[in-house]
Structure 1
Amino acid sequence: MGPRVVIVGAGLVGCALADELTARGWTRVTVLDQGAAERPGGSTSHAPGVVFQTSGSRMLARVARASAARYGELRAGGRPCFRAVGGLEVAATRERLAELRRRHGSATAAGIESHLLDPAECAALHPLLDREVLLGGLHVPSDGVALPLAAARAQARAAVGRGAVVRHGVRVTGIDTAAGRVRGVQTDHGPLAAEVVVCAAGIWGPLVGAMAEVTVPLSPMAHQYAWTTPLRELDVLQKLRGLVDPGGAAFPVLRHADADLYVREHGDRLGVGAYAHRAMPADPAGLDRPGPDRGAVPAERAFTDLDFEPSWHAAQALLPALADAKVERGVNGLVAFTPDGMPLLGETAVRGLWLAEAVWTAHAAGVGQALAAWVVDGVPTLPEPGADPREPGAPLDVSAAHHDRFDPALLAPATVRSRACHAYDEVYDVVHPQRLSPTTRPLRTGPFDARHRELGAVVAETDGWAVPAWFGDNADLPEVCEVRPRRAWAGRHWSPIAGAEALVVRRAVALVDLTSRHRLEVVGPNALGLLQQLTTVDVDRPVGARTRALALDRAGRIRADLDVARLDRDRFAVGVATRLESRWLAEHVLGRVEVRDLSSGTCALGVWGPAAGVLLSRLTDPSGRARTADAVETHVGPVPVLALRGTPAGVDGVELRARADLGAALWDVLWDAGATLGIVAAGARAVTSLLVESGHRTLGTGIDAELTPAEAGLDHLVDPGKGLFLGREPALLGPRRRLVSLVLDEPGEVVLGGEPVRDGEECVGRVAASEVAHAEDVSLALAVVPPRLAVEGTELTVEYFDRRVGARVVER
């Protein structure tokens, strides 16, 4: 039977989750929705139902693939809930054509069949297209059109058949909590007790979250969709194709991203969806208020013709059959957008309260599967295509969609709204995977920011922090001439200065700002017990010892990469790269231990390079523990610091942590003392290069939460003799895949991640990370491949745009 579950929202996501939970044996599920059963009133009510599986996000591509498969199994009223008419994305510019080649590669790596087409082949698939305006296209045969309301009803019906209850016309008015756990919900029809509550309320998500003091960072945005008058030419073509369903479709769904629009059939009419118009955010608090612009349901607003006019002209240019057609009706339908355009999934700080927000039709059924596994088993998974449904699913890394990925500093309503508008504006943009510039200067700046500016820092953003990618003042370094130029795509958002900085780190000494990483203090009588319970190696070492350890989930997948330094019997300094790693540690705290996040009030500076020791000897006391310990609280000049010996970059060095108010002084004293040693500042791009070159694998650099330590090549960070720790048993199983280092045959070729890796003609894996080892002048990649191919010297190829680049497995 399972615990009592209340799902708030009976749209596609809520009904999918109810179906999947009850299929897993959790049958005490109640789905609540304030709207009517026939049309609840949220985004599902007006969703066009297009399912495009290709995406710049591997996670979304996998979820969309699962969604298409699940929709294909559903029927309502004897009719299928999904029509696999295919998807055709067309290119009218050379940049878009190159992007389609890249998407073809990422689709292949995600197991999605796709084909690159020339203009004539595009027109053969969709005869309404004007081939003269096209340069090519990408065809995905398994894309198509879902019927959102019918699919939601079908999954709700399946859930009810297993014991679930779906109640419409019931408004949730509060969420009951006690001792940090959810206890149930209050409604306008009375209270409901529950051990698990899932907010799948869509555009109302921020209001529901606020009932439990949980911030749901999304903004409802109006998205335009219009239906044309009947098209005789389309009707004739459909009959020639044998279409008998009067409301059906015979041709692929079109995506014309150069014009920010998509097109699908509605019988003899076309539907045109547009993202080219201005961003039109709505206030969640005003969604249910009456007004002159309100539509038939709360998630609809009156259609604004002037906003749609450019998209209509673009659609007519693409499809000449629209020349004499009119817009019969349209809607400004509200959909949920987050600051980065990704969903919001996972359990909140209130135990038992989960979010399933900002999920589109293309992903809803797959999200239902992954979230059900997460809620019931503690690990998100997806069923493997064609696999026995009784078998455990494949792990899914949801970190890019975790609801708690945003720092609290980025959750102000104005910030969420502004960034959601930007996410809407670039839905169909070609976004470079290493793009630098955010819309505004990052909100969070560390104590070295003024020094960065003086040195001409080119800024990227990490977790809201302004992080130097490289420094313009280093353009005069002689090492710049040693760095091989990059080709057009890989050369964007990059500079040879970054390579020069990496060379200086190898040869002399550099300052590296590490402030954007998270610095924690684990303190209390049970501090050691917590770390021993969670980590893969023994951290019960003497004071002054520094240990690298992994933290795993119950399936043995890597959830955190920890730098643990023992400062006292019951006090440990812990460093991690991301907010979610910090959260993983904090959410396992029980009693007599505290995990303090010191990040905002502190800073960190790496002193890296062979001359680092000489520099530090000028500023520190070389006697006692400062000389021998890996972790020691000492002084650099006048500044008190925690000094941590060692670097992940394969060079000598130390990480210095200090109070934020002393950061500028720390920088200055090191900079002045290092002048005669040729000291420079090195940015984040140099750091990434050094990590890949040295073979250092960590979360975010090749590793994701789908890999076990053995699969990631980090077996040495698992101590089988340690005793019990979370994820121990599955971590000791043999790997089903392996992360390997590749050397590309062409030193000047740099891939950027997500590309398919082939053994002959067979796609056997994907590139997880890539960079240039500047000291060796070779291009490297980290790739996930089957264990049989993880042998030094194995010859493979990497598919990069429309080329195949030879590669060889190497040990690093």
Structure 2
Amino acid sequence: MSQQSQPLPDRARVVVIGGGVIGTSVAYHLTKLGWTDVLLLEQGQLSCGTTWHAAGLVGQLRASESGTRLVQYSVQLYGELEAETGLSAGYKQCGGVTVARTEARMTQLRRTAATAAAYGMECHLLSPQEALERYPVMQVDDVLGAIWLPGDGKANPTDLTGSLAKGARMRGATIRERVRVTGVRTEGGRVTGVETDQGDVEAEVVVNCAGQWAAAVGAMAGVTVPLHSAEHFYVVTEPFAGVHTDLPVLRDPDGYTYFKEEVGGLVVGGFEPEAKPWVSPHELPHPFEFSLLEEDWDHFSVLMDSALHRIPTLHTTGIRKFYNGPESFTPDNQFLLGEAPEVAGFFVGAGLNSVGIACAGGAGRALAEWIVEGEATSDLTSVDIRRFAPFNGNVAWLRDRVSEILGLHYEIPWPNREMTTARPFRRSPVHHLLEAAGADFGSRMGWERPNFFAPAGEEPVIEYSWGKQNWLPWSAAEQTSTRTGVTVFDQTSFSKYVVTGAGAEAALQWLCTADVAVPVGRTVYTGMLNARGTYESDVTITRTGDEEFLVVASAATTVRDLHHIRRHVPEGLDVTVFDATSAYAVLGVMGPRSRELLSRLTTADLGDEAFPFSTSQVVPIGYATVRATRITYVGELGWELYVPAEFAVGVHEDLMRAGADLGVRRGGYYAIESLRLEKGYRAFGRELTPDTSPVEAGLTFACKLGTDIDFLGRAALEKARADGVRRRLVSFAVDTPEPMLWGGELLLRDGAAAGQVVSAAWGETTGACVGTAWVWSGDDEPVTLAQVRSGDYSVDVGGEVFPVSVTTRPLYDPDNARIR
């Protein structure tokens, strides 16, 4: 009897919901890892939702090393599947050509080539004529140049799904089609199984790979899955001369279009600047098997006109088929992976944002390893579902946002590019005051945060470019104010958690690298690691009582931090953790005159002896009572004021009034970024990731390795310290003020690829761009500090090479005299 004709099993260790390419990949990799009791349920037929009409492009090079490695694994897998399963994935490595029509795009392509060099991937810059030789059916009159990625390819989505499914079955998985999940069962905050139209199934783990239906499936478990469908278009042409099976994939991002050979003709598709949202995630029709939406030639015209321009033969070539296949997109154009913070054992792999075929192999393996190991095994922060909060599931907000998201695929990925749709969103209590003062706002975890302040008469807008942007002089003035006077920063977006209970100290001692058994009123900088000894977060912790601690983290990490903390509190401890983020505004008062300013508003003694660095007190500020913590992220004397939200406007007004004759300024996050990089301070999500250990980051001083106190990740960290590491973080300054760096640039030592810039910004005090960078071991052997400090370093900035000075100490005030 076939699997399909057998009754549905009563239980399975894992139930995977969704039989598209990501669901079958997860099932395949779970069985490959030894978890064979896997049941995959598909409401229609395998690949019948979004997968079947995917274009099947497989471009390997991604914006991050972790994303690139993920797709590289996909390519390796797709080439091996037929030998294993007997079914081809329809994968062909044909290479990819990307052309540039503008100088800005050409700069991006040069940066892409440098990124490829950093990752050891083959990539070549091409002249227009060389691009034409690779792709003879296009015209290149307006092409300035191109890149050639020989490792790019294409796959057949349906064949790939079938091969993955067969591989899963061969190792014991059960795959059932035409079974619709109607509910998800939970008990005590943990998933216990699913309800279907053919009976209930108990399960330890449920994996939501339902594609466009993933939001509705998530809602069954009380889990937010923030995605929204948009209509997505391409056409398939009749065959014409010059098109053959080995023709590369062509991308013309300035024209929003891509071209892929199919049966002698071309698939012509793209990502129009303004997308067309489809129905809400909870209104998707059923059944919707192998279904398409109505043709919309008017909406497609921007893509078709561009395609006719690039490939003139299309003027006389027939169209065989118009595809309008809806697809779901997330609010930031990165997919969703990981365990849902709301329900233990409920995992999500969805929202692949038109990169599902390229990423499915690597994403499926990564999610399967997460399920088996109990935590991610590599850096998945950019796709981790915990980067979103429940408010990101608002359908009206998602609908407006998705209209912008689809077009980002082929937009120039400008440094510091901000979303424009569905804003403003979360606002601090002093937002209106900052807006009136000329703030340009960026967005982080939904918070509207000031990037910089434009002077009177100037528009607070970003004029995007690869060079020095229009706002740089204004941000530089904020840096100077902070180094020489006093600046007020609205840092309300900080994540803030209160950890209380008789077991609070013991719990945090286990979770944190640093010793937090400190007196009340002390503040400690610490990392939080996973079992692999790499970062899950970096935070400051203030002991606010015998059984109470205030934990402060970056804006973006609220959900993941809370989930990590709650999951890893040792059993049996009396601990309560709650999110206090919205209860307090945070105003940073920073600079050598910060003490003078604050002393005008408080009776508290702010002197070094009464109020030393890394301490915190409750003090009056004007009419308000606030928590003042003497700490800094900019490398100057300063205090962070934790102000009850209802008092924030008054405190901010008092600070600006009392500091008027001191020349007090408001400052934005661009200035903070520059100041922290001059000081060499690290940031989670940039320098610190789940692929980074304190040894690599130079932060073992914030680890209690000199004590016998155990903490999560200690054993792995000690092993890394003993064995040595294959990369080390350095600070650098460019030797000349001309170039503008943004992060991601190739680092060279003695002219050879040696690493990559992590973060970079203009340093006004230094008089040039500064930043942090990884120096990698060229031979995969441990790299010593002596090796790091040797050689002549330079950076590749959009194809031009500039010398840099590298150091393992802070560029600015290396002895910390100014902050103490």
TM-score of the pair, normalised by structure 2 = 0.90
Distance in 2, Cα, partners of 1:305 & 1:442: 33
Distance in 1, Cα, partners of 2:127 & 2:467: 25
- The one-letter amino acid paired with 1:272 is V
Alpha carbons of 1:67 and 1:471: their partners in 2 closer, same or farther (altered >3 Å)?
Answer: same
Q: Which moved more, 1:784-793 or 1:357-366?
A: 784-793
Instruction: Tell me, yes or no, if structure 1 residue 458 matches structure 2 residue 437.
Output: no
Deviation at 1:34, TM superposition (A): 1.0
The superposition leaves residues 729-779 of structure 1 with CA deviations (integer Å, 9 ceiling, x where unpaired) of 111213221111122222232211112222345322111001233122132
Aligned to 1:8: 17
Aligned to 1:244: none
Contact kept? 1:605, 1:657, Cα under 8 Å: yes
Alpha carbons of 1:487 and 1:443: their partners in 2 closer, same or farther (altered >3 Å)?
Answer: closer
Partner SS state of residue 264, structure 1:
strand
Deviation at 1:699, TM superposition (A): 1.1
Aligned to 1:627: 610
Instruction: Tell me, yes or no, if structure 1 residue 519 matches structure 2 residue 496.
Output: yes
Q: Which moved more, 1:202-211 or 1:696-705?
A: 696-705
1:572 to 530, 545, 549: 549
- The one-letter amino acid paired with 1:620 is T
Q: Which moved more, 1:790-799 or 1:337-346?
A: 790-799
Deviation at 1:257, TM superposition (A): 0.8
Deviation at 1:541, TM superposition (A): 0.8
Aligned to 1:682: 667
Alpha carbons of 1:77 and 1:26: their partners in 2 closer, same or farther (altered >3 Å)?
Answer: closer
Aligned to 2:579: 597
Q: Which moved more, 1:63-72 or 1:689-698?
A: 63-72
Deviation at 1:474, TM superposition (A): 7.7
Deviation at 1:148, TM superposition (A): 1.4
> 1:45-84 counterparts in 2 under 5 A?
45-75=52-82, 79=88, 81-84=90-93
Contact kept? 1:509, 1:607, Cα under 8 Å: yes
Aligned to 1:531: 508
Deviation at 1:583, TM superposition (A): 3.6
Distance in 2, Cα, partners of 1:777 & 1:275: 40
Instruction: Tell me, yes or no, if structure 1 residue 322 matches structure 2 residue 329.
Output: no
Distance in 1, Cα, partners of 2:395 & 2:708: 47
Distance in 2, Cα, partners of 1:657 & 1:278: 41
Deviation at 1:147, TM superposition (A): 1.4
Contact kept? 2:590, 2:639, Cα under 8 Å: yes
Contact kept? 1:180, 1:350, Cα under 8 Å: yes
1:737 to 711, 721, 727: 727
Aligned to 2:4: none
Instruction: Tell me, yes or no, if structure 1 residue 711 matches structure 2 residue 696.
Output: yes
Aligned to 1:354: 347
Q: Which moved more, 1:76-85 or 1:519-528?
A: 76-85
1:308 to 295, 300, 321: 300
- The one-letter amino acid paired with 2:351 is A
Deviation at 1:791, TM superposition (A): 3.1
> 1:653-802 counterparts in 2 under 5 A?
653-720=638-705, 721-732=707-718, 733=720, 734-786=724-776, 787-788=783-784, 791-792=788-789, 794-802=791-799
Distance in 2, Cα, partners of 1:233 & 1:436: 41
Contact kept? 2:750, 2:791, Cα under 8 Å: no
Aligned to 1:331: 323
Alpha carbons of 1:798 and 1:500: their partners in 2 closer, same or farther (altered >3 Å)?
Answer: same
Aligned to 1:807: 804
Distance in 1, Cα, partners of 2:790 & 2:453: 37
- The one-letter amino acid paired with 1:357 is A
The superposition leaves residues 105-136 of structure 1 with CA deviations (integer Å, 9 ceiling, x where unpaired) of 22333333211111111111111111223221
Partner SS state of residue 782, structure 1:
strand
Distance in 2, Cα, partners of 1:119 & 1:753: 28
Aligned to 1:618: 600
Distance in 2, Cα, partners of 1:624 & 1:762: 51
Q: Which moved more, 1:397-406 or 1:649-658?
A: 397-406
Distance in 2, Cα, partners of 1:103 & 1:353: 37
The superposition leaves residues 444-470 of structure 1 with CA deviations (integer Å, 9 ceiling, x where unpaired) of 111211221232112111211111111
Partner SS state of residue 735, structure 1:
coil
The superposition leaves residues 604-634 of structure 1 with CA deviations (integer Å, 9 ceiling, x where unpaired) of 0111111111222222233599933611122
TM-score of the pair, normalised by structure 1 = 0.91
Deviation at 1:788, TM superposition (A): 4.0
Deviation at 1:222, TM superposition (A): 1.4
Partner SS state of residue 222, structure 2:
coil
The superposition leaves residues 778-812 of structure 1 with CA deviations (integer Å, 9 ceiling, x where unpaired) of 32121111224763354222121111222232122
> 1:22-41 counterparts in 2 under 5 A?
22-37=31-46, 40-41=47-48
Alpha carbons of 1:599 and 1:329: their partners in 2 closer, same or farther (altered >3 Å)?
Answer: same
Instruction: Tell me, yes or no, if structure 1 residue 412 matches structure 2 residue 405.
Output: no
Partner SS state of residue 132, structure 1:
coil
- The one-letter amino acid paired with 1:636 is I
- The one-letter amino acid paired with 1:425 is G
Matched length: 768
Contact kept? 1:561, 1:581, Cα under 8 Å: no
- The one-letter amino acid paired with 1:785 is V
Contact kept? 1:217, 1:339, Cα under 8 Å: yes
Distance in 1, Cα, partners of 2:602 & 2:563: 34
Alpha carbons of 1:631 and 1:731: their partners in 2 closer, same or farther (altered >3 Å)?
Answer: same
Deviation at 1:225, TM superposition (A): 1.6
Deviation at 1:365, TM superposition (A): 0.6
Aligned to 1:392: none
Contact kept? 1:123, 1:130, Cα under 8 Å: yes
Structure 1, unmatched stretches of 5+, are 239-248, 382-394, 477-485
Distance in 1, Cα, partners of 2:234 & 2:606: 71
Partner SS state of residue 783, structure 1:
strand
Partner SS state of residue 493, structure 2:
coil
Structure 2, unmatched stretches of 5+, are 1-10, 777-782, 811-820
The superposition leaves residues 497-540 of structure 1 with CA deviations (integer Å, 9 ceiling, x where unpaired) of 11111111111111111101111111111111110110011100
Partner SS state of residue 799, structure 1:
strand
Contact kept? 2:515, 2:703, Cα under 8 Å: no
Contact kept? 1:739, 1:784, Cα under 8 Å: yes
> 1:214-225 counterparts in 2 under 5 A?
214-225=223-234
Contact kept? 1:378, 1:554, Cα under 8 Å: no
The superposition leaves residues 327-375 of structure 1 with CA deviations (integer Å, 9 ceiling, x where unpaired) of 1111101211011111011101200000001121111111011112222
Deviation at 1:303, TM superposition (A): 2.4
> 1:175-324 counterparts in 2 under 5 A?
175-234=184-243, 238=244, 249-276=245-272, 278-289=275-286, 297-298=290-291, 300-324=292-316
Contact kept? 1:9, 1:33, Cα under 8 Å: yes
Alpha carbons of 1:269 and 1:617: their partners in 2 closer, same or farther (altered >3 Å)?
Answer: same
The superposition leaves residues 622-647 of structure 1 with CA deviations (integer Å, 9 ceiling, x where unpaired) of 35999336111221122111111121
Partner SS state of residue 64, structure 1:
helix
- The one-letter amino acid paired with 1:665 is G
Aligned to 2:8: none
Deviation at 1:84, TM superposition (A): 0.3
The superposition leaves residues 138-183 of structure 1 with CA deviations (integer Å, 9 ceiling, x where unpaired) of 1110101111111111122112111111111111111111000011
- The one-letter amino acid paired with 1:123 is L
Distance in 1, Cα, partners of 2:464 & 2:43: 54
Q: Which moved more, 1:94-103 or 1:20-29?
A: 94-103
Q: Which moved more, 1:498-507 or 1:785-794?
A: 785-794
Question: What is the root-mean-square deviation of aligned Cα atoms in Å?
Answer: 2.3
The superposition leaves residues 556-607 of structure 1 with CA deviations (integer Å, 9 ceiling, x where unpaired) of 1111111111111101111001323344224434552111211112100111
The superposition leaves residues 702-734 of structure 1 with CA deviations (integer Å, 9 ceiling, x where unpaired) of 333310011111111111124211111111213
Alpha carbons of 1:756 and 1:776: their partners in 2 closer, same or farther (altered >3 Å)?
Answer: closer
% same residue? 34
Contact kept? 1:410, 1:416, Cα under 8 Å: yes
Distance in 2, Cα, partners of 1:116 & 1:537: 47
